[in-house]
A = this chain, B = another copy of it.
Amino acid sequence: MRILVVEDDIKIACFIIKGLEQAGFAVDHSGNGEDGLFLAQTEPYDAAIIDVMLPGLDGLSLIAEMRKAQAHTPVIILSAKRSVGDRIKGLQTGSDDYLVKPFVFAELLARLQALIRRSTGTAEAASLAIGDLSMDLLTREVVRSGQKVELPPREFSLLEYLMRHENRVVSKTMILEHIWNYNFDPQTNVVDVLVCRLRNKVDRDFDQKLIHTIRGVGYVIKKS
């Protein structure tokens, strides 16, 4: 899931970005309206979080421009103003939700997930399962054969990515991009290592292996 954040205040931006990344999102950021608009028009985001008060092109105009060109990407507006008027104006412009600063991060996250759930139409399964392996996305609990498995964030994220692509081969490049948000070659074996770690926790102690290697290509998760 890719999120665009347009926010000029560095501190707030960092706060949001880190929070979202920890929640498993890939985040791009822009500090002004023009760059934000450009990103929105060129990259396929699943949602955007936009401040109204921006240097240059302001948030509402930005959304208006986005809506002219583009399909409906869910947008959450951030604002210091709490007047009802602004709120209405924001929603009229084409935003999908409205949050007043200062806000609690958990609320932003909850609203964001709700929006994505709504827009993707797919009633965003709260859990994924393959064979006797299941993963609860809300509680971040992973269970194999009734036995709970503890996973650090990156490994959890990788497993989620694999499970969302059940039976389909995902290349190392795609993993690199999805988990690290890299668009260049790190010249190391980080992916191999992460997969290895995940396997040790998910597959090692069990008879039926779920994570399979496709040499020269990548990995698949599947039952047989």
Q: Which residues of B contact A38 (CB under 8 A)?
A: 82, 84, 100
Point out the residue from B11, B43, B153 that lies within 8 Å of A217, measured CB to CB. B153
Point out the residue from B2, B103, B215, B218 that lies within 8 Å of A183, measured CB to CB. B103
A19 in contact with B173 (CB, 8 Å) = yes
Q: Which residues of B contact A138 (CB under 8 A)?
A: 167-169
Assuming the contacts A177-B105, A214-B140, asked whether A22 and B183 have C-beta atoms less than 8 A apart, the reply is no
Q: Does A193 contact B (CB under 8 A)?
A: no
Contact with B along A156-175 (1 / 0, CB 8 A): 00000000000111011110
Tally chain A residues at the interface, Cβ within 8 Å.
52
Could you tell me the distance between the alpha carbons of A187 and B11 in the complex, rounded to whole angstroms?
8
B42 in contact with A185 (CB, 8 Å) = no
A128 to chain B, nearest CB (A): 16
B153 in contact with A168 (CB, 8 Å) = no
Q: Does A194 contact B (CB under 8 A)?
A: no
A22 in contact with B187 (CB, 8 Å) = no
B216 in contact with A185 (CB, 8 Å) = no
Could you tell me the distance between the alpha carbons of A63 and B184 in the complex, rounded to whole angstroms?
24
Q: Does A44 contact B (CB under 8 A)?
A: yes
Point out the residue from B12, B102, B107 that lies within 8 Å of A44, measured CB to CB. B107
B152 in contact with A215 (CB, 8 Å) = yes
Assuming the contacts A183-B101, A185-B14, A187-B11, asked whether A43 and B107 have C-beta atoms less than 8 A apart, the reply is yes
Q: Which residues of B contact A152 (CB under 8 A)?
A: 215-216
Assuming the contacts A14-B187, A42-B82, A42-B100, asked whether A22 and B218 have C-beta atoms less than 8 A apart, the reply is yes
A sample of 9 cross-chain residue pairs with beta-carbon separation below 8 angstroms, ordered by A number, consists of A2-B104, A9-B184, A11-B184, A21-B216, A22-B218, A102-B184, A138-B167, A139-B222, A153-B215
| Chain A positions near chain B (C-beta within 8 angstroms) | 2, 9, 11-12, 14-15, 18-19, 21-23, 35, 38, 42-44, 82, 84, 99-107, 138-140, 152-153, 167-169, 171-174, 177, 182-185, 187, 214-218, 220, 222
Besides A15-B184, A44-B104, 4 more A-B contacts (Cβ < 8 Å) are A12-B184, A18-B185, A38-B82, A42-B82
